[in-house]
Amino acid sequence: MSLSAFKRKIKKNILFKNAYFWLKERHDKRIEDNKFRYTGQLIDRSKGSDKLCIVLAGYKGYLSENVFGRIKAYIPSDIDVCVITSGLFSDDISKMCEQNGWSYLSTKENNVCLVQNIAIKSHPAAKYIYKLDEDIFVTKGFFEKMMEAFLREQKGEYRVGVIAPLLPVNGYGHLKILKELDLVAKYTEMFEKPVYAAGADRKIENDPETAKFFWGKGGFVPSIDKLNEIFSSKEYACSACAIRFSIGAILFAKETVEQMGYFTVERDISGMGDDEVELCTYCMLQSRPIMVCENTVVGHFSFGPQTAGMKEYYQQNKELFGIS
């Protein structure tokens, strides 16, 4: 007997029907509870803003001075900030958050889906969520331009799921930037033909030399702040991204993640990358595209295979990553 036939049969029997729905309700409740159950602490300094920025941190402390220095310099006062660490508590991060009036959430469980669920759920007043990874270097006007684009595109031809900025080290953003700087031929000569594509087979995501190229090595690409000035001065543009997008710097409405049912939590894994797959999948299946605001550029340090090489480059060229 097929599963569908079995379900039809038991639904006709009142005892089996009641047992079936009782078990289903308990099963669904366990899944829901699993998305938010944690051991850890939330130091809540929220002002009750309708805008929240969560920053996933704790594992690239060598970037903190510039990453958080930029956030502090550019974030508007009406945005609540909650720094989140998955699988650890950091004294340094806790002290930094205290000094800046930011909230700090730490979980013993090392699962990025779980810690994001908790952070979002713990800010009931927040209607809009900025999410940043700890290797994102924000620039002047980033927060304002993202919100402006989100609200503007909500009235446009798409049902927006997520808004993102241009990122040079990114399967989509790198080609946009190469075209603007007339560097397509140079990049092709040095690395490979650039196309709008993400994946481990693309040098933009696995070769540390491409990351260094976009962070100033060779003098071809200007500083991230100069890049931001160039694109900020251009006529408004926002495009629907047709490829899988890395979600290191995004803005979305809380109702989107609520309708998605929050992120699925698998307790025995870190969940790294699962949040990206789930969000991208949801947006595609629900016709709620990831939109890229082309009037703001922020820096992405590296993808995993590039990190070791980029760490050494960073330590030798810190001035390239600070505010210029």
45 and 30 within one domain? no
Residue 27: per-residue pLDDT: 44
Do 46 and 118 share a structural domain? Answer: yes
146 and 87 housed in the same domain: yes
- Whether 203 is covered by a domain: the verdict is no
In the three-class reduction of DSSP (H, G, I as helix; E, B as strand; rest coil), residue 300 is classed as: strand
Q: What is the DSSP letter of 224?
A: H
**Model pLDDT for residues 263-285, shown as the tens digit of each residue:** 999 987 777 889 999 999 999 99
Domain containing residue 120: CATH number: 3.90.550.10
Are 247 and 279 a contacting pair, CB within 8 Å? yes
Mean pLDDT for the stretch of residues 96-110: 97
Residue type, 284: M
Average pLDDT over residues 250-254: 98
Tokens of 102: 């930011």
**Claim: this prediction has a pTM higher than 0.85:** yes
Instruction: Judge whether 318 and 66 are in contact, CB under 8 Å.
Output: yes
Tokens representing residue 268 in the block: 């025995």
For the residues of 6-56, what is the DSSP string, one character each? HHHHHHTSHHHHHHHHHHHHHHHHHHHHHTT--SEEEE------SEEEEEE
**Degrees, nearest 5: CA angle 281-124-240:** 30
What is the dihedral sign for C-alpha 251, 253, 254, 259?
A: negative
Closest by Cα among 124, 130, 81 to 298: 130
10 Å CB burial of residue 190 (0-12, 13-18, 19+) is: middle
Place 22 in a pLDDT band, splitting at 50, 70 and 90.
very low
Residue 206 within any structural domain of the chain:
no
**69 and 19 within one domain:** no
Burial of residue 78 (CB within 10 Å: 0-12, 13-18, 19+) is exposed
What pLDDT is stored for residue 271 in this prediction? 79
Distance in angstroms (rounded) separating the CA atoms of residues 215 and 285? 35
Task: Say whether both 28 and 63 belong to one domain.
Answer: no
Q: 78 lies in which domain range? A: 40-169+224-320
Q: Are residues 161 and 16 in the same domain?
A: no
Average of per-residue pLDDT across 294-301: 98
Do 284 and 311 sit in the same domain of this protein?
yes
212 within a domain of the structure (yes/no)? no
Residue 182 lies in a domain: no
**Phi, psi values for residue 214, rounded to 5°:** -75, -15
The answer to whether residue 94 scores a pLDDT higher than 90 is yes
Question: Is 60 part of a structural domain of the chain?
Answer: yes
Residue 92 lies in a domain: yes
Which of 138-142, 163-167, 206-210, 242-246 bottoms out in mean pLDDT, i.e. has the lowest? 242-246
For residues 72 and 152, state if they share a domain.
yes
Regarding whether 309 and 233 lie in a shared domain, the answer is: yes
Tell me, yes or no, whether 11 and 25 share the same domain: yes
Give the count of domains, the chain.
2
In the predicted model, is pLDDT for residue 26 greater than 80? no
Q: Among positive and negative, which fits the CA dihedral 210, 214, 216, 221?
A: positive
Q: How confident is the model at residue 31 (pLDDT cuts 50, 70, 90)?
A: low
Q: How far apart are CA 169 and CA 307, in angstroms?
A: 12
Is residue 66 domain-shared with residue 156, that is, in the same domain? yes
The answer on 152 and 23 residing in a single domain is: no
3-state secondary structure of 324: coil
The mean pLDDT of 211-235, rounded to a whole number, is 98
Residue 195 lies in a domain: no
